[in-house]
Amino acid sequence: MNTFLLLAAAVITFGVGLAHSILGERYILTRLFRRGNLPPLFGGTEFTERTLRFAWHLTTVAWWGMAAVLVLLAFGAATARNVSLALGITALVSGVVTAWISRGRHLAWIAFVFIGVVTIYASFI
């Protein structure tokens, strides 16, 4: 495999995730929320806004996890354990982002944390 090309892909993937979060927050989410016609979920639009926000940024977390796997591939370190760790950490970060932005109200964080913990644990046994 070509190390340079894989690293280039990893850097671009990381950059796409970063741009997705920054530009999406600035030009899409903020403008969408200003419109004031979001459906009220669980008594108001705050939960709707937070759900859209964490779902948006979760894409970035997933792309960063993919970038980590590309780096592992580039350096010939893509063992089952290392890939499992990268995926487990990605799942854990997804759970933290979901819990934080939704203030724990969106229960997907439980699934993500479970997936992360189980995946990381499985990589060591």
pLDDT in tens, 45-104: 888 999 999 899 999 999 999 999 999 999 999 999 999 999 999 999 999 999 998 899
**Full-model pTM:** 0.88
Ordered by start, the domain boundaries in the chain are: 3-124
Question: Up-side HSE of residue 41: CA atoms within 13 Å toward CB?
Answer: 11
**Helix or strand run (H / E) with residue 42:** none
Q: How far apart are CA 40 and CA 1, in angstroms?
A: 50
Average pLDDT, the chain: 94
